[in-house]
Structure 1
Amino acid sequence: MSLHKHHPQHEEKITDSAFDGGVGSIPRHRLPRHTQDADAALRFVQDELMLDGNARQNLATFVTTWMEPQAATLIQASLEKNIIDKDEYPRSAEIERRCVNILANLWNASTPAGGEDAIGCSTTGSSEAAMLAGMALKWRWRARREEAGANASKPNLVMGANVQVCWEKFARYWDVEARLVPLDGATHLTADQAAAACDENTIAVVAVLGSTFDGSYEPVAEIAAALDALQASTGLDIPLHVDAASGGFIAPFLDQELLWDFRLDRVKSINASGHKYGLVYPGVGWVVWRSSDDLPRELIFSVDYLGGSMPTFALNFSRPASQVIAQYYTLVRYGFDGYQRIQQRARDIATTIAQGVEKLGPFTLLSRGEELPVLAFKLTTPDGWDVYDLSHELRSFGWIVPAYPMPKGMADVDVLRVVVRNGFTFDLAEMFLADLAKSVARLSGQQQARVAFHH
C-alpha cells in the first residue's frame, strides 16, 4: 500500500539518452517499457543516491555504518541464501544456532549441555525480536489466567514513555494496553514507577538497557527487586523483559558488574540488535529466552515443504542468511577482547565529545556517553535560536544530528543527540566539535545582527 497516489500522466521523466540508448525517457513512478543497459541503469540509481547523507557523518543512527571488507565479502557471497531454508543451507542454520548460544552465554543464561542448547533465534532486527518476546509474554500470561479461571481479555504491558516505538507497535498490533509511564525526575523508568503500574493483567515490565532518547540504562536490577517485593506483598508474579537493543552489546563488555541479564531470576527474555552495537550492517536482531518454559510451544510452527521438518518462530519468513553470517564473523573475528576494545573506544569518543559540548557554554548535558556511547544535550537558555535551528545549521557541514522533544513527562525539553559508533574516530570528533562551535557562533551572530537591526 502506498501512502502517496501517483498519476502516471503527471509523472516527471528523466531525459538522458545515455540511460536508454536515445529511445525515450525513464519514468520515475512506473515500470519502463524497454530494457535498459546495465551500466546505464547503475549510473541512474547511483546518481539518485548521491543526494543521500554521508553515512559516516550520520550521528543520528544507532545502525552500523562501517564493517571490514572481509565481512562485506562474506555478505556478498551469501546474499542468495534464505535463512529459513535450514535443510538446504544447514551450515547457515548451524551458524545461527551458534550465535544464539554465544549471546545466551554472554548474557549469563543457564543453558543445558554446556551452553549449547539456548532458546532463541535471529530476526530482521531488534524490533521483530521485541515483537516475538512480547508475544511469548502475552501467551504465557493468558495461559496462567485461563488456568486460574480468571479473565484474560485485558492484558497490559508496563514500560517507560521513553521506550522505542516498536513496543507501542507491539501493543497496538497484539491488542495489549501500553502502560507508558511518564518520566518523572529521571529520563527513564524507575523501579517504583514500574511496580506501581502493575496489576493482575500485566503481562510483563519492559526495562530498556540503553534508551534511544539519551543512551541511559534503566535500573534493571532495581526494577527486578521492586517486582520481587511486589510479589511478596501481593502474590503478583510479573516477568521482566530487557530491551537491550543497544546495551546488550555494550554492557557485557564495559559494565560487567552491572546486573541486568539472566543473572536476575526475574528476567525471562532479552532482545538485542546485531546491526547496532553488534557491529553488523542492517538488518539482524536477536531474541533469547531464559528457558524453553518461557517460549510457548504453540507459537512455534513446523514447516515441511522446504526439504525437511523445520521449526520456525518469526514474523518474517524469507530473509537473507548473509547478515546472520556477518554476525558470526564479527563474533569470531573480534572475540571478547575485540568487542571490549571497540566499545570502550566508542565510549571514550562519546565522553570526549560531551566534554567539548560542555565547554562551548550554551548547553546542558542530559547524558555524557558513560553508558551507551551516546550523549544528549539541550540549550541551557534560549538565545533567539533553538536545537532545531542548530540541527539544520550542522547539516551545512554534512553532520546529521537529530533534534527532538523528550517523551511524556519531559516533553517540554528539546534535545540534540549524538550517537558514536564503530568507524567514528577522535579526528572526526574534533571536526564535529569545531563545526558545532562554528554553527553556534553563526546562529548567535545572526541573532545579534537581528537585534542590532531592530534597534
Structure 2
Amino acid sequence: MSKIPLKNPQMPNPENEEVSSDPAELAEQVKYLKNQLYKVTRSIAHVRESGLDEGEVRGVYPNLVMSDMFQACWEKFFRFMDVEPRFVAPSSEHCKVNAEDMIALCDDKTIGMVAIMGNHYTGHYDPVWDLDEALTKLNKEKGYQIGLHVDAASGGFIAPFQPEVPAWDFRLPNVLSISASGHKFGASVCGTGWVVFRERTDLAEHVAVSVSYLGGDADSYTLNFSRLDPAHVHVCMMYDVCMTACLHQWFLRSHTHCYSFAGTGKKRFVIMDDGDTACLPVVSARLNPDLRLPFTDIDFQHQLSEQHWYVSGYSLRFEHPISKMLLPLFNDTPKSATMFRVVVKSNLTRELAEDLVKQVEATLKEMDSQGTGFKMKHKAAKLAHRPSVC
C-alpha cells in the first residue's frame, strides 16, 4: 500500500516528534493519528472505487495566511469553506507577525492574507503597512493577486483615534476588506459588527442569497440567515459612535506595577503588551517563569476572582482547526505556559484601578504564603482545567 501524504504539509507530524510521557500529550497525539487514519482510509476507498489518483480525489485547496492568534470565526471559516490555514507563530517578545514569515507561506493557491489589528492576548497590532508593502512586491514578481483582509474586530474603534499608528486601512492599496466589532470594550451590545469592502465588486454577487418570501426582496450574506431588526442596528451604531469618544481618554493608561519578588531581586511579572500607544487598551503580563512559582496565571485568575475582579487567564496554546492538535501559540514559549490580561474599558475609574492593584497585591501575598502547599491544594482542579480563549 502506497503512503498517502498529509493534506497540509504544515501540520505537525508525530513521526518527527519526541514521544511525550504526559498523558494529556499522548492523548492529543492519539487523537490526531486517529483523525488522519480515518481521512486516509476514506481517501484510499474512494481512489479504489473511482480509479482516480490522490490529487484528483483531494482536488486543489486554497489557503489563507495569518497569525495563529486568530479568533473563533476563522476556525469556522476553515472548517466550513475547506480552506487550508497557514499560520505564523510570532515570538513572545514581539507578539505580532512579520512580513517575511507571512510572505514565505504564500503561493499560487493563496487567496488572501489576514492582519489582526489587536490580538486578544496582548493587544498588539500586526504591521499591516509592512504586509501591504511586501504583498505589492510579491504580486508584481509572481503575478499573484493576493489581497489583505484586516481583522479589526478589537481595534476597529480604537486605531482610528491613535494618530501614531501608520496607515492600516483602505489608504493601503492591497487592503480589500476590514471587519470590526462594535461590542468590544463594552461599547455596544453583543452581536454588533460590520465587514466593509474597498469596492462593491470585491463582494462577489454569488455569495448573496436573494429572499423574497419575507415581504419584499432582500439579500442575505449570513450563514445562519438571522435577520436583524434595522432599528436595532441603527441604535447600536449610534451608541458605538458616542461611546468611542469616551474610550479615547483611556488610551494613555499605566502598566500594572512590576513588583519585585521578595528575596530574589527578580521581577514578579513579565509585561507582554505593546505599551501605552499604538495598541489596544489592555495590560497583558505573565508571572515571571524564572521564579518557578507553584501556581500559574490561571490560578491567579481564580484567586483574584474571589475579590470580585475577573482577569482573563490564558494558556499559551491553540487547537489547530483541522488537525485538532494543541500547538504552542508562540515560537519560543512552551504550550504549557500561561499569561493573564486586564481589559481597560471606559468605565474604569481611578478608584477602581487602585482597588484592582490593592487586590492583586493581597491575592499574591496570600498565594505566596501557601507556597508549595498551594500546588498540592489545587492539583486536582488544575488537571481538570482546560481553559478556552474567548
Letter in 1 for 2:159: A
| Structure 1 counterpart of 2:271, from 347, 365, 368 | 365
Deviation, 1:257, is 4.8
SS at the partner of 2:299?
helix
Correspondence for 1:179 among 71, 77, 86: 86
2:345 is the alignment partner of 1:345: no
Between the aligned partners of 2:341 and 2:258, the Cα distance in structure 1 is 11
RMSD of Structure 2 on Structure 1 (CA):
2.4
Q: Is the 8 A contact 2:294 2:374 kept in 1?
A: no
Change (3 A) 1:194 1:303: same
- Structure 2 residue aligned with 1:328: 237
Task: Name the aligned partner's letter for residue 180 of structure 1.
Answer: F
- Mapped pair 1:388 → 2:295: no
Q: C-alpha deviations, 1:136-185, integer Å up to 9, x for none?
A: xxxxxxxxxxxxxxx97210010111111321221111100011112245
Task: Name the amino acid aligned to 1:154.
Answer: Y
Change (3 A) 1:450 1:294: closer
Structure 1 unpaired stretches of 5+:
1-150
Q: Is 1:260 equivalent to 2:164 in the alignment?
A: no
Greater alpha carbon shift after TM alignment, 243-252 vs 302-311: 302-311
The one of 353, 356, 361 equivalent to 1:432 is 356
Q: Conserved in 1, the CA contact under 8 Å of 2:67 and 2:89?
A: yes
Does the Cα contact within 8 Å between 1:249 and 1:277 map onto a contact in 2?
no
Q: Does the alignment pair 1:162 with 2:69?
A: yes
Distance 2:77 2:347 in 1: 33
Name whichever structure is richer in helix by fraction.
1
**TM-score scaled to structure 2, two decimals?**
0.70
| Of 90, 96, 114, the match for 1:188 | 96
Please point out which of 285, 291, 294 is paired with 1:377: 285
State the distance in 2 between where 1:152 and 1:292 align: 30
Conserved in 2, the CA contact under 8 Å of 1:250 and 1:277? no
Q: Which residue of 2 aligns with 1:300?
A: 208
Mapped partners of 1:278, 1:268: distance in 2: 28
Determine if contact 2:256/2:357 at 8 Å carries over to the other structure. no
Q: 1:274 to 1:377 in 2, by over 3 A?
A: same
Q: 1:288 to 1:277 in 2, by over 3 A?
A: farther
CA distance in 1, matches of 2:272, 2:192: 30
Give 2:26's aligned residue: none
Cα shift at 1:450: 8.2
**Aligned positions of 1:215-226 closer than 5 A:** 215-226=123-134
Write out per-residue CA displacement over residues 187-219 of structure 1, whole angstroms, 9 at most, x where no aligned residue.
122111111110111110110000011111110
- Aligned-pair CA distance for 1:186: 2.7
Q: 1:168 and 1:318 mapped to 2: Cα distance?
A: 20
Distance of 2:112 and 2:149 partners within structure 1: 7
- Higher deviation after alignment, 383-392 or 287-296: 383-392
Distance (Å, rounded) in 2 between the aligned partners of 1:423 and 1:320: 28
CA gap 1:257/1:181 in 2 versus in 1, 3 angstroms: closer
CA gap of 1:156–1:358, structure 2 versus 1, over 3 A, is farther
- 1:206 pairs with 2:107: no
The residue identity in structure 2 corresponding to 1:425 is: T
Larger relative contact order (CA 8 Å, sep ≥ 6) = 1
Rounded Cα–Cα distance in structure 1 between residues aligned with 2:219 and 2:374: 67
Equivalent-residue separation in structure 2 for 1:171 and 1:247 (angstroms): 23
1:326–1:193: structure 2 CA closer, same or farther, 3 Å change rule? same
Deviations 1:306-350 (A, max 9, x none): 222222222232344254133232256x2xxx634x2233323xx
For structure 2, list consecutive stretches of 5 or more residues without a partner in the other structure.
1-57, 262-266, 317-328, 376-390
Deviation string, structure 1 residues 350-378 (Cα, Å, up to 9, x no partner): x32x2434678400100145310112101
CA contact (8 A) 1:152 1:201 kept: no
CA contact (8 A) 2:66 2:87 kept: yes
Write out per-residue CA displacement over residues 211-245 of structure 1, whole angstroms, 9 at most, x where no aligned residue: 01111111000011111111222222211000000
> For residues 157 and 210 of structure 1, what CA distance do their matches in structure 2 show?
19
Distance 1:450-1:230 versus aligned 2 partners, 3 A rule = closer
Task: Give me the identity figure in percent.
Answer: 35
Which is greater in Rg? 1
The verdict on how the C-alpha distance between 1:356 and 1:450 changes in structure 2, with shifts beyond 3 A counting, is: closer
- State TM-score, norm by structure 1: 0.60
Report the alpha carbon displacement of residue 397 of structure 1 after superposing the two structures with TM.
Answer: 0.3
Task: Give 3-state SS (helix, strand or coil) of 2:172's partner.
Answer: coil
Change in 2 beyond 3 A, CA 1:369/1:382:
farther
Shift of 1:291: 0.5
